[in-house]
A and B are shown apart, each in its own frame.
Chain A
Amino acid sequence: MTIQFERGKVVVIDRGARKLRVGQGMLKGMAVVWHHWLKSFQKLDNFSKTAGVFTVEYPDERIKLPEAYRNMPILLYDDETGQELCTACFQCQRVCPPQVIHINQARNPETGKAIPAAAEFIIEYDACMSCGFCAEVCPFDSIKMDHEFELSTEDHAELTMNKAQLSRPVSYYERIAPTFWAEVKASAYKKLQNSVKRRVDLIGIAPQMVEKVKAMRAAAAESEATEAAPSSAPTKPSAAETSPATDKAAKLAAIRAANAAKQDAGNGGTSTPEAPAGDDKAAKLAAIRAANAAKKAAESGEGSASVAPAAPEAPAGDDKAARLAAIRAANAAKKAKDEQENS
């Protein structure tokens, strides 16, 4: 080891470790291994230490996967209504590099017109390369990447997934990727409402929810039938429902409007109580519009207006949702009226 002096200043150099003689290096090496062996009986919880077992014994315990983890694509549907977010826009099918996505557009059985929903949606998991392009490109936030990775099977054909196997409720995705979903939730629901408007009957309902939705609608129809007779249900949000004509579409729209209103009320009450007062105007406007629509509906039918009380309940809430609810109510009412006239 040489020390170099420069004129006028002393250069301090690091001498490093002591030189190891006559087998000390071997003993030192063995001491390192011994240290690791001793420490291996304790489990490491973070990676700042170098000694200790940090094995996660997989089938018994699992690492919490990061939200951005992606394995295979899945399709989302709304928990309550069972409406699928997918509109069969074919973006994913086009972008898929291994071309494993196959979509059938749903059509109205009477008119043959295209409906924004997928009649069948197939992804070949066996050839899927988990690139996530489909989830990236999906404009309706319907297709998302799953965290499930235990897909091994004895039967190759089992890896071709149809719509029933691909569908997951929104709440499932919300659980595995809460922040991601929170980012897109509002726009996704907005788009969903738009497409739901153009769906008929049970088309666009997730296969596992079909029975449930049927039962729900039947129950709703029954309860309305009984409650419509006294026609004194001020809190019931069944505005356009009261006409004796059991018009399914009208009923559905009403239920939806009610749900949305309820949801908005909840949001307004709990999550965003400090909504800016400047937006009140819009909300108020929406409420008025909703009230008008309800009134119209009431005129055409004989029921009591009840969307109106529902809509003004959410003035403090985010105006967008309120507006949406009002529009929806108006549309539903209009539709109900039209159909009544037709019939």
Chain B
Amino acid sequence: MYDVVDYVLNTTFNLGAAGWVVSLISYLMIATVLFLVAPLQMLFLTYYERRLIARMQDRVGPNRVGPEGMFQPVADAVKMFTKEDIIPAAADKWVHLLAPLVVVAPTMFMFAVLPWGPGMTPIDMHIGLLFFFAVSSISAVGLMMAGWASYNKFSLLGAMRAVAQMVSYEIPAMLSLLAIVMITGSLSIVDIVQWQGGLFISSSDVAGVPNWGLGWFVFNPVGFLAFAAFFIAALAEGERTPFDIPEADSEIVAGYMTEYSGMKFGLFFLAQYVLNFLLCAITAVIFFGAWQGPGVNELYALGITPDNPDGNGWFNVLAGVLGAFYFLFKTYAFFFVMVWIRGAFPRLRVDQLMDFGWKYLIPLTLVNVFSAAIWVGFNNWGANEGFGFAEPLGDLGRWAVAFVLTLAINIAAYIVMTRIYGETRRVTFDEQLADTAGLPS
């Protein structure tokens, strides 16, 4: 965007604008586009989810407003805007007012590092991935504020649950990402996406693999386990159904949103769906190569790039459109899976949620970090690091050995962990029963 604005201002109109003016204008434009995209995503996702879950429950879903109910979310938004804003008399007014903003703002920040296509990342930070998750953790403060300021037991319970859940599940999410970061050796989201070129085998692991944009992390054992763990943690972070205890409507009304109405409630809703979109998007970025897919790299190579300044700008546009299509397709596919899971599983109990996070996901992701180390060792390390014995295998051979080894470790870890976890749950139930009753177990 900087280049385009620079070109238009300084070459076409010859205004001689300073660098910071160009930066400011280009970033303002990007921010405007993103701020428009975010609510639209939310509108689309609500419609998409309602239609999908209806289909899964043998219903039709909203199909009255507009063709096939396309304008249902717009109608809902109008309703939200026109509803009365209620502040409880006993509420802490300022904190009550600020809480939705604190929840929404981070989700908007998170768009800053999301890659939409080749060369279409708003900001390429060195630590983009960390930025993404650091910012996402801010919204926990907003939830706490909402729960506390509402002066309502359900709000407070919901906020406590939400925050406990977010803090707990951030750890497995981070640990599963750690495995990926170990393999790529970079926290930059652009690097991670670039790494996933190739053809089922990443071209970064094995030289000479054609760059068809299919070397996604999910195709190797480390990436797959990390993906599974991360997606489960993402469900918990986004308060999606098996983990939607913070707003469990059958238990605590609507959790921290209980005392909100009108547009403030709308903001919470917006934040939640935008967060879900972002979590799906980041899953697609990290494990499914974001915009990587057949054709994008070829098109992009023909366009104007730092390597190829004489290219045709139209190929940039084509590559961008194709890349954005792949990216959004993957993102919506993940949202489909989220809805699918919502249709399939009931809500967990609080203790089950905590047990699952701490006793199952965290050990599993720790094993996965170990697998990632093996992967890195076999694929990237040479004689200097003590992996001289692997050199004669060649790139593909080393890759194959790493694949088999990590696959064996991860499958074994999965089976063992699952059985132990199932066993402990059963034993604790019986023992507790025996303890309570004072009976021999």
A residues at B contact (CB < 8 Å):
21-23, 26, 29-30, 32-34, 36-37, 39-41, 51-55, 57
A334 to B163, CA, bound (A): 97
Q: Chain B residue with minimal CB distance to A52?
A: B58
A32 to B58, CA, bound (A): 12
The one of B58, B63, B344, B418 that contacts A40, using a Cβ cutoff of 8 Å: B58
Chain B residues in 8 Å Cβ range of A33 = 56, 340, 343-344
| Apart from the given pairs A34-B340, A36-B343, A40-B58, 4 other A-B contacts in the complex at a CB distance below 8 Å | A21-B418, A30-B340, A37-B55, A40-B59
Q: Chain A residue with minimal CB distance to B414?
A: A22
Closest chain-A Cβ to B243's Cβ sits at a distance in Å of: 14
Chain A residues in 8 Å Cβ range of B308 = none
Chain B residues in 8 Å Cβ range of A34 = 340
Known contacts A22-B415, A22-B419: does B60 contact A29 (CB below 8 Å)? no
Q: Chain B residue with minimal CB distance to A26?
A: B345
B residues at A contact (CB < 8 Å):
52, 55-60, 63, 340-341, 343-345, 414-415, 418-419
- Would you mind naming 16 contact pairs between A and B with Cβ atoms under 8 Å apart? A21-B419, A23-B418, A26-B344, A29-B345, A33-B340, A34-B340, A36-B58, A36-B343, A37-B52, A37-B55, A37-B56, A39-B58, A40-B59, A54-B58, A55-B59, A55-B60
Query: Are B59 and A37 neighbours in the complex by a CB distance under 8 Å?
Result: no
A22 to B410, CA, bound (A): 13
Chain B residues in 8 Å Cβ range of A57 = 60, 63
The one of A21, A30, A36 that contacts B341, using a Cβ cutoff of 8 Å: A30
Query: Of residues A29, A34, A36, A40, which shows the largest number of chain B Cβ atoms within 10 Å of its Cβ?
Result: A40
Chain A residues in 8 Å Cβ range of B63 = 57
Chain B residues in 8 Å Cβ range of A22 = 414-415, 418-419
What does DSSP make chain B's interface, helix, strand, loop or mixed?
helix
Closest chain-B Cβ to A152's Cβ sits at a distance in Å of: 17
A41 to B58, CA, bound (A): 9
A34 to B414, CA, bound (A): 24
Query: Are B344 and A29 neighbours in the complex by a CB distance under 8 Å?
Result: yes
Closest chain-A Cβ to B55's Cβ sits at a distance in Å of: 4
The one of B58, B340, B415 that contacts A51, using a Cβ cutoff of 8 Å: B58
Q: Chain A residue with minimal CB distance to B59?
A: A55
The total number of A-B Cβ pairs within 8 Å is: 47
Chain B residues in 8 Å Cβ range of A30 = 340-341, 344
Q: Chain A residue with minimal CB distance to B416?
A: A22
Q: Chain B residue with minimal CB distance to A54?
A: B58
Closest chain-B Cβ to A24's Cβ sits at a distance in Å of: 10
Query: Are B418 and A53 neighbours in the complex by a CB distance under 8 Å?
Result: no
Chain A residues in 8 Å Cβ range of B415 = 22
Q: Chain B residue with minimal CB distance to A34?
A: B340
A40 to B340, CA, bound (A): 14
Closest chain-B Cβ to A159's Cβ sits at a distance in Å of: 26
Chain B residues in 8 Å Cβ range of A54 = 58
The one of A21, A23, A32, A53 that contacts B60, using a Cβ cutoff of 8 Å: A53
Q: Chain A residue with minimal CB distance to B418?
A: A22
A55 to B341, CA, bound (A): 23
Query: Of residues B56, B63, B419, which shows the largest number of chain A Cβ atoms within 10 Å of its Cβ?
Result: B56
A30 to B344, CA, bound (A): 5
Q: Chain B residue with minimal CB distance to A30?
A: B344
Closest chain-A Cβ to B233's Cβ sits at a distance in Å of: 16
Chain B residues in 8 Å Cβ range of A26 = 344-345
Chain B residues in 8 Å Cβ range of A51 = 58
Chain B residues in 8 Å Cβ range of A39 = 58
A165 to B8, CA, bound (A): 74
A98 to B33, CA, bound (A): 63
Closest chain-B Cβ to A182's Cβ sits at a distance in Å of: 38
Q: Chain B residue with minimal CB distance to A43?
A: B60
A32 to B343, CA, bound (A): 10
Q: Chain A residue with minimal CB distance to B336?
A: A37
Known contacts A22-B415, A22-B418, A22-B419: does B55 contact A40 (CB below 8 Å)? yes
Chain A residues in 8 Å Cβ range of B343 = 33, 36-37
A341 to B40, CA, bound (A): 92
Closest chain-B Cβ to A166's Cβ sits at a distance in Å of: 33
Q: Chain A residue with minimal CB distance to B63?
A: A57
Chain B residues in 8 Å Cβ range of A40 = 55-56, 58-59
A62 to B340, CA, bound (A): 31
Chain B residues in 8 Å Cβ range of A36 = 55-58, 343
Closest chain-A Cβ to B54's Cβ sits at a distance in Å of: 8
Q: Chain A residue with minimal CB distance to B417?
A: A22
Chain A residues in 8 Å Cβ range of B52 = 37
Closest chain-B Cβ to A140's Cβ sits at a distance in Å of: 44
Chain A residues in 8 Å Cβ range of B419 = 21-22
A51 to B415, CA, bound (A): 33
Q: Chain B residue with minimal CB distance to A49?
A: B58
A57 to B62, CA, bound (A): 11
Query: Are B345 and A53 neighbours in the complex by a CB distance under 8 Å?
Result: no
A29 to B344, CA, bound (A): 6
A37 to B60, CA, bound (A): 11
A51 to B55, CA, bound (A): 10
Q: Chain B residue with minimal CB distance to A23?
A: B418
Chain A residues in 8 Å Cβ range of B341 = 30
* The 3 A-B residue pairs with the shortest CB-CB distance in the complex, in nearest-first order: A40-B55, A22-B418, A33-B344
A26 to B57, CA, bound (A): 18
A30 to B231, CA, bound (A): 15
Query: Of residues B58, B60, B340, B414, which shows the largest number of chain A Cβ atoms within 10 Å of its Cβ?
Result: B58
Query: Are B340 and A53 neighbours in the complex by a CB distance under 8 Å?
Result: no
A306 to B51, CA, bound (A): 72
Closest chain-B Cβ to A268's Cβ sits at a distance in Å of: 53
Chain B residues in 8 Å Cβ range of A52 = 58
Known contacts A51-B58, A55-B60: does B344 contact A37 (CB below 8 Å)? no
Known contacts A22-B418, A26-B345, A29-B344: does B56 contact A53 (CB below 8 Å)? no
Query: Of residues A29, A37, A53, which shows the largest number of chain B Cβ atoms within 10 Å of its Cβ?
Result: A37
Q: Chain B residue with minimal CB distance to A36?
A: B56
A40 to B54, CA, bound (A): 9
Closest chain-A Cβ to B389's Cβ sits at a distance in Å of: 34
A41 to B54, CA, bound (A): 11
Closest chain-A Cβ to B399's Cβ sits at a distance in Å of: 27
Query: Of residues B52, B344, B415, B419, which shows the largest number of chain A Cβ atoms within 10 Å of its Cβ?
Result: B344
A52 to B55, CA, bound (A): 8
Closest chain-A Cβ to B431's Cβ sits at a distance in Å of: 22
Closest chain-B Cβ to A62's Cβ sits at a distance in Å of: 16
Q: Chain A residue with minimal CB distance to B421?
A: A22
A21 to B55, CA, bound (A): 29
